[in-house]
Homo-oligomer: A and B are copies of this chain.
Amino acid sequence: MDQLLQNIKIEINEKIFVKNPESSDLGKRIIESSIDLINEIGFEQFNFKKLGTHIGSNESSVYRYFENKHKLLLYLTSWYWAWMEYKLVIGTIQMTDPSKKLDEAIRTLTKVINADSNFSHIDEVKLQNIVIAEYSKSYLTKEVDSENKQGYFSIYKRLVERLTNLIKEVDPSYKFPASLSSCILEGALHQHFIKQHFKALTDCDDQLTPTDFFLNLVSSTLSYSNGKD
């Protein structure tokens, strides 16, 4: 897959950035370093001055790429979800059995990224940790409706929709395909977070994973018309 990914390009809504960070070396360093820094000190402590220092450049140079740190977070998380969507699509494209497709999709969307999945300048392991710890902050704002209208969350929404459709294919009679889909995506992030910080609130650890939990949940909730279960 690494080779494949070398050649694809992840497209992010142009309104999210002032200047496309993919278009220059400095831009790429901004992305690379912001992932490092946010992962290390958290989104609240993170700012463009610290980022400037971190990349041996200047605060004002960062502002030529992103209006503010909120937009940068939207960029990073959009990139993550676009990458997830890509993995989901290529991982299930040749499958015909709906239940196997759904199974594979859930695995892709809920598992921990392993260190060697790296390509280009983006460290996906760190990026996933950022998404786990910070994604909610990108939409839990007073501006959510206007930003949603501008399409800032469209990649994530498309991904939820894809999973919803896979659920519908398996069980067209199920009443809550969209709710289940959003619950899996958001719930997986939450389970990953609490398995790190509130161990008593989950049964998941490195053996029994969030993937196991959601596979079990889905297989017992849906009526599989053909194939497995």
Contacts and interface: CB of A to CB of B under 8 A. Distances in A.
Interface in A149-164: 153, 157, 160-161
9 contacts: A136-B137, A161-B200, A176-B216, A182-B194, A182-B198, A182-B201, A187-B190, A220-B220, A220-B221
A190 B45 CA distance: 25
A71 to B, nearest CB: 15
Given A183-B187, A190-B186, A202 B221 contact: no
Interface in A137-190: 137, 139-142, 144-145, 148, 153, 157, 160-161, 175-183, 186-187, 190
A139 B133 CA distance: 9
Contacts of A213: 176, 179-180, 183
| Nearest 6 interchain pairs by C-beta | A42-B142, A182-B201, A136-B136, A220-B221, A179-B202, A176-B203
Which size bracket describes the interface of A in this complex?
35 or more
A213 B133 CA distance: 26
Interface of A: 41-42, 44-45, 133-134, 136-137, 139-142, 144-145, 148, 153, 157, 160-161, 175-183, 186-187, 190-191, 193-194, 197-198, 200-204, 208, 210, 212-213, 216-217, 220-221
A198 B153 contact: yes
A139 B193 CA distance: 10
Contacts of A175: 203, 208, 212, 216
A96 to B, nearest CB: 26
B139 A137 contact: no
Contact of A178 (B139, B202, B210): B202
